[in-house]
Structure 1
Amino acid sequence: MTTPTPSDHLPVLASASHVVKRFGGATAVDGVSLNIHSGEAVGLLGPNGAGKSTLIGLLCGLRRADAGEVRLFGRNPLDPSARLRLGSTPQATSVPQTLRVSETVDFVAAHYPDPIPTAELLSDFGLDGMAAKQCGGLSGGQQRRLLVALALVGRPELVILDEPTTGLDVEARDTLWRLLRTYRNAGGTLLITSHYLEEIQALAGRVVVMDKGSVIADGTVDEIRSHVTLTKVSFRTELPASSFGSLPHTVGVETHDDGRVTIVTADGDATVRALVLEDLAVRSLEVHAASLEEAFKALTGEHPVRTIGQEQS
């Protein structure tokens, strides 16, 4: 039975219903059903080849589904009137090499009824000093900033970004995060894929995990984390890390440059009890819940999973 969430009562801006997409004999998207509600910030995670970019291409009208139905603002995504309310940055998009930065923004802005003024947009993205520069002369990080700026120029209701901070340094990434939060705080809806789990944790309230073309988990960041009962038990010790590999429920043992050892375990309580009962010489013991990254690795690894919010009653 599906557990209702507050967003279930909000309008659906984009949806996929039992969608299948094949390339030759390979199935890239395999029966995916997904709704993106107004006001949500959704992070789409998955390993390379999971089907994330293909799903985004379907939602943006860049590809046609082989089966199932895709809707964007209640219409076929191939309908230009639906895409008028969408801003997007596909992963493989490139900037026009010979156009000037301001010309590029002006050109894209001309497709929308009420675009953000070019000078304002470039200033927000730290590109105002490059307005007269050819796009091909921008660094890779500057080009990524420009592409995300172009996704926002039309004041879209929904923004879909595929790996938006690839190539950005920390300062530029933080600036982009700030701008995306501002967009969200103004009521915008965001769907973002990223290999940086910190980015999803910083921007998204909901996380959808894909693997091998299917959605394997869908929930809040905390739900995804709790979905796999992994715990990190960290401590200092003079013993070799191999001393802890046989403890009950151990998934893995990590060593750190500062001399700490961390046990990744499926049962933190049992691991701590074993450390005490076996009188292993440890000190400065700390216990932490699994991070989003650890949950993601477990969900897309060999461990069996169930889908959050879709448990059978």
Structure 2
Amino acid sequence: MDTAISLLRVSKCFRAGKTRHKKQQTQALDNVTLKIGRGEIVALLGANGAGKSTLIDIMLGLTTPTSGQVEVFGVSPREAVLDTKVGAVLQNGGLLPDLKIQDTIELIASTYSNPLPVEEVLSRANLSEIRKRKVQACSGGEQQRLRFALALLGSPELLILDEPTAGMDPTARRHFWEQMQREAERGATILFATHYLREAEQFAHRALLLNHGELVADTPVAALLREYSSLDQAFSTLMKEPSCDSSF
């Protein structure tokens, strides 16, 4: 299987200030090594502060590791992003409140040399019926669907999603994952971080579990479900911490 994402001994430290005698650092990631093949659907799991968002930022080229090597489709993350091979849905930011949904998509589409048609993107993100709504009038879930639409414009080979269904009600979450299943069927590689373990249980082929910056498990979801009654139980056992919200 061709490799979409490759990390080799990746660590990331953030300066947290200094005491009288020495500088203090926070270890966000600690010696993480993994490979994700083209076409895989991978869930990134961990408690708040486990390092999930830092790992995603590194994969997107938004920050650089303190040590280690990162490649996305054989090049640096920034090169892959500039080549429109990567689309991302992050938790917040990046939207202009006074623009309408369709106007936002058209504006961002104008920055691409060969974007997907706006009508297709609206349909795939389930936004056609609210295309004239201003961003500031959208719910949190609707804004996440807009971010998803923007991520699709470049027809990416890799979708990286950081808590993509945050703010969505259960019905909206189900509709979102139905669309993501169609993206997977088109051949997209999908990596998503989530606190809703049922999403990972129902959609992911493989689970990465981060705990205090360390990759403590990299296992097929089916294998975890053979050993544990649910991902919620697997998570709480492997992390030795309270379970996440497993609602769907």
Which TM-score band (shorter chain)? 0.7 to 0.9
| Alignment partners' CA distance in 2, 1:56 and 1:33 | 14
Does residue 13 (structure 1) correspond to residue 4 (structure 2)? The answer is yes
Does residue 139 (structure 1) correspond to residue 123 (structure 2)? The answer is no
| Alignment partners' CA distance in 1, 2:115 and 2:200 | 27
TM-score, scaled relative to structure 2: 0.88
Check conservation: 2:89, 2:144, Cα contact below 8 A.
no
Does residue 300 (structure 1) correspond to residue 243 (structure 2)? The answer is no
Q: What amino acid maps onto 1:139 in structure 2?
A: S
Structure 2 CA distance for partners of 1:184 and 1:62, relative to 1, 3 Å: same
Instruction: State the 1:159 CA deviation.
Output: 0.2
Check conservation: 1:71, 1:77, Cα contact below 8 A.
yes
Larger RCO (alpha carbons 8 Å, 6+ apart): 2
Check conservation: 1:15, 1:59, Cα contact below 8 A.
no
RMSD value, Cα: 1.7
Aligned to 1:291: 230
Instruction: State the 1:45 CA deviation.
Output: 0.5
**Number of residue pairs matched by the alignment:** 232
Check conservation: 1:218, 1:224, Cα contact below 8 A.
no
Structure 2 CA distance for partners of 1:210 and 1:80, relative to 1, 3 Å: closer
Does residue 201 (structure 1) correspond to residue 201 (structure 2)? The answer is yes
Where in structure 2 are there 5+ consecutive unaligned residues? 16-24, 242-248
Check conservation: 2:72, 2:80, Cα contact below 8 A.
no
Q: Whose radius of gyration is greater, 1 or 2? A: 1
Instruction: State the 1:82 CA deviation.
Output: 5.0
Q: Residue 79 of structure 1 aligns to a residue in which SS? A: helix
Q: Residue 78 of structure 1 aligns to a residue in which SS? A: helix
Where in structure 1 are there 5+ consecutive unaligned residues? 1-9, 230-288, 303-313
Aligned to 1:29: 29
Q: Residue 215 of structure 2 aligns to a residue in which SS? A: strand
Q: Residue 102 of structure 1 aligns to a residue in which SS? A: helix
Percent of aligned positions with the same letter in both sequences? 38
State how 1:58-137 maps to structure 2 within 5 Å: 58-79=58-79, 82-137=82-137
Check conservation: 2:141, 2:169, Cα contact below 8 A.
yes
Q: Residue 164 of structure 1 aligns to a residue in which SS? A: coil
Check conservation: 1:51, 1:213, Cα contact below 8 A.
yes
Instruction: State the 1:198 CA deviation.
Output: 0.5
Structure 2 CA distance for partners of 1:80 and 1:157, relative to 1, 3 Å: closer
TM-score, scaled relative to structure 1: 0.70
| Alignment partners' CA distance in 1, 2:142 and 2:166 | 11
| Alignment partners' CA distance in 2, 1:80 and 1:43 | 21
